[in-house]
Amino acid sequence: MGTDKELSLRLLEEIKRLTAGRERPMRLMEVCGTHTVSIFRAGLRQLLPPEVELVSGPGCPVCVTPDGYMDAAIAYAGMGDVIVATFGDMLKVPGSASSLAEAAARGGDVRIVYSPLDALAIAKEHPNKKVVFLAVGFETTAPTAAAAVLAAAQESVENFFLLPAQKLVPPAIRALLADEDARIDGFLLPGHVAVVTGSETFSFLPKEYRLPGVVAGFSPTELLRGIYRLVWQAAAGEAHIENEYKSVVRPEGNPAAQTMMKQVCETCTAEWRGLGEIPSSGLRLRDAYRRFDFSAMRPLDLPPAPPKKSGCRCGEVLRGKISPRECKLFGKACAPEHAAGPCMVSAEGVCAAWHKYGGGVFRYD
């Protein structure tokens, strides 16, 4: 452990040396919710020099899920023949006027599961119910959802469904960079996503935008190593993709997981909170498996989600436009126990991380 601390201190000194005298801070964006929490938990923001600014992007899948999806999930939860199965951090995410937790309080059958295969098991136990798994996530969780669909098809489980809302990270990065006001100098790339996609999926960053990217792990030392490599590339005038998480990430990723995803899913336009509709950024079930999409089997006629009147600025936070503290609701009308937006609800939400760890110090526990 002492060796990690010594290495981290050396990395910090090198980061300070390489950035000394910059005219403006180097803005580095992490696009992984676990990175956001790990950075705050370790107190890295407080240790970095003012010449390095860390910005949190749309790295929390719960946070980028739009109100319209939540409204549909809440409506399904209110149907007597439906069991909604979901990850726990979806319960308090606000829709237009309610949440899944409130739907459950009104008598809806909403159950917390740890994987879509758990939802499949519930479907087998309750053949007279429609069991709908809320398939929210990035490339990290998409293969397990695809595996559950394949298992349901193989075992002829006809009452198991997904409500798809899975999203792909690279198109979201492109959308961020298409913003004329975007000022990002490099990306700390998501380690968990890259396990599936591979590091080479981000090669468009140096090729098209002349921006560096580094796939990083999650310990304080691994994160500092990733930040150091981004700073080093900028100082050297270089831009390429580096993999600093080689213990689990390969350039080509996980071919088996990719094959399973492609067998079951195809890309589609998807709506992201804060980013709007992004072409080819979502996953939907292919025609051969469309019978497992509950929104296709039982479509809803819901009005469009109205604009939020609470003053929540989650969308701007997710684009790196503002920090959570620049939102007038932060820590007052919006706190974990009474969140106004999803960025404060999810365990990986940037607002929740700022609220819990904003004044943190360097830690290795």
> What one-character-per-residue DSSP string does 252-318 give?
T--HHHHHHHHHHEEEEEEEETTTEEEEEEEEEE-GGGGGGBHHHHS---PPPPPPP-S---HHHHH
Check pLDDT > 80 for residue 158: yes
Residues 341, 90: Cα–Cα separation, whole Å: 12
Check pLDDT > 70 for residue 141: yes
Based on the fold, state whether residues 40 and 95 are members of the same structural domain: no
Q: Which domain holds residue 128?
A: 67-166+254-297
Number of structural domains in the chain: 2
Q: What's the rounded mean pLDDT across residues 106-115?
A: 97
Residue 44 resides in a domain:
yes
Check pLDDT > 80 for residue 88: yes
Check pLDDT > 50 for residue 185: yes
Check pLDDT > 50 for residue 360: no
Based on the fold, state whether residues 131 and 145 are members of the same structural domain: yes
Q: What's the rounded mean pLDDT across residues 22-32?
A: 94
What per-residue confidence (pLDDT) applies to 363?
A: 43
Residue 311 resides in a domain:
no
Q: What percent of the chain has pLDDT over 70?
A: 97
Token digits of residue 65? 């899920």
- DSSP label of 97: S
At 274, give phi and psi (nearest 5°). 90, -25
- Looking up residue 148, the CATH number of its domain turns out to be 3.40.50.11740
Residue 157 resides in a domain:
yes
pLDDT-based confidence at 123, cuts 50/70/90? very high
Residues 126, 181: Cα–Cα separation, whole Å: 51
Based on the fold, state whether residues 54 and 140 are members of the same structural domain: no
- Looking up residue 224, the CATH number of its domain turns out to be 3.40.50.11750
Based on the fold, state whether residues 123 and 222 are members of the same structural domain: no
Angle between helices 116-125 and 142-154 (to 10 degrees): 30
Based on the fold, state whether residues 71 and 157 are members of the same structural domain: yes
Residues 213, 203: Cα–Cα separation, whole Å: 8
What per-residue confidence (pLDDT) applies to 337?
A: 84
pLDDT-based confidence at 309, cuts 50/70/90? low
Report pLDDT digits (tens) over 207-245: 999 999 999 999 999 999 999 999 999 999 999 999 999
Based on the fold, state whether residues 238 and 258 are members of the same structural domain: no
With contact defined as beta carbons under 8 Å apart, do 215 and 189 qualify? yes
Check pLDDT > 70 for residue 308: no
Q: What's the rounded mean pLDDT across residues 335-356?
A: 88
- What residues contact residue 36 under an 8 Å CB cut-off, 6+ apart? 30, 56, 59, 60, 348, 350, 353
pLDDT-based confidence at 347, cuts 50/70/90? confident
What per-residue confidence (pLDDT) applies to 211?
A: 97
Give burial (CB, 10 Å; 0-12/13-18/19+) of 210: exposed
Based on the fold, state whether residues 136 and 186 are members of the same structural domain: no
Q: Which of 126, 118, 116 is nearest to 83 (CA)?
A: 126
pLDDT-based confidence at 310, cuts 50/70/90? confident
